[in-house]
Amino acid sequence: MSSGNAETTGSSRIADYELFEVPPRWLVLRLETADGVVGWGEPIVEGRAHTVRAAVEELLESYLLGEDPADIEDHWQTMYRGGFYRGGPVLMSAIAGIDQALWDIKGKRFGAPIHELLGGKARDRIRVYQWIGGDRPSEVADEARQKVESGFSALKMNATSELQRVDDPASVAAAVDRLAEVREAVGPDVDVGVDFHGRVTKPMAKRLAAALEPYEPMFVEEPVLPEHNDALGTIAAHTTTPIATGERMYSRWDFKEIFEDGSVDVIQPDLSHAGGITEVKKIAAMAEAYDVAVAPHCPLGPIALASCLQVDACSPNALIQEQSLNIHYNETSDVLDYLADPSVFDYEEGFVQIPDGPGLGIDVNEAYVREQAEKTVDWHNPVWRHEDGSVAEW
């Protein structure tokens, strides 16, 4: 049990929680104290909502209910180290959503945004990038042009569809042509990140990274699966393009090896997967010591995005922020729909202001959350196959 505070009254204890699975593919946690302070979190592994829900319920029921929400570090340590088996996407995402909600409660108690409680702002706003597609042949150049005209100065596209372990020159040429079309459409003043999505093997990643370099990507993201992070040094040797990875890494211990290796230039921890605000703040501080930038992964909902922005605010090495406005995953519901005041995420000149309201700095539209939770949500990523019938990486 938590060390707690003997003087804490029962009215400030964690009294209740609710979980809502909502479109398009999100899980929302509502955590409430006995005196009515509500904190929100977004614990989710995309496509594994039921599994993460069970993990959140287990953590709350077995430990947190009745505890003082203020002891966030102790709660994090207990949720993580209190089990003999630890880490991985499901447990760390469950911890992440709970951690977000605890920080939201703490901020509301003090009437301050979370970044003020973490040392204060290092910036007033942060640049964001917009997804434009690209993993299937599409009009990415037109999409890129439209996004730039609407005010974005940074974009991200997928590099390829599925690739064979060693694929033909035409597949490489197709990836190069798509990036070339985007670069021609937006010019040299716009940054374009290229996401390999872990669907590329080491030999193809080397070829692609070298072939794309003349079009100056902002970074090459997840050039190989995190299981093959030991290959990043070899890939980095084939290009001067910055290497980014981290959306499928879940703790500072996962990131430790790539920091020591020195091949990665940008890390992308996910605030809903990598242990929440408590853990990602520590990961960002580690990255700073290795001269590595942070660009949090966030193709998710408003609570996850607000959590990212709170860490971005107080992390000197935060580079840019992913966000899911109009992303293809959000066809049934968008990030702004769940907010009482969506203007908190207004984008101006490719930047978003750091929210300065208490806690996460957002006002969740609880009535809308409850309404959407009545719908059936069953999102799973597609399973791709090669021409021979074998499973391909999505």
Residues with a catalytic annotation lie at 197, 297
What is the distance of C-alpha 317 from the center of its chain? 16
Q: Which segments of the chain are extended strands (E)?
A: 14-22, 26-33, 38-41, 125-131, 154-158, 191-195, 220-221, 243-245, 266-267, 293-294, 321-322, 347-348, 351-353, 384-385, 391-392
- The first and second tokens of residue 174, run together, are 């197709």
d(CA 352, CA 241): 26
- The first and second tokens of residue 113, run together, are 């945004």
Which residues, 6 or more positions from 193, have their beta carbon under 8 angstroms from its beta carbon? 129, 154, 155, 156, 157, 217, 218, 219, 221, 244
Q: Are 159 and 208 in contact (CB under 8 A)?
A: yes
Torsion of CA 19, 21, 22, 27, to 10 degrees: 70
**Helix axis angle, 276-289 to 72-81, nearest 10°:** 90
Distances from the Cα of 113 to the Cα of 43, 120, 124, 305, angstroms: 20, 9, 13, 14
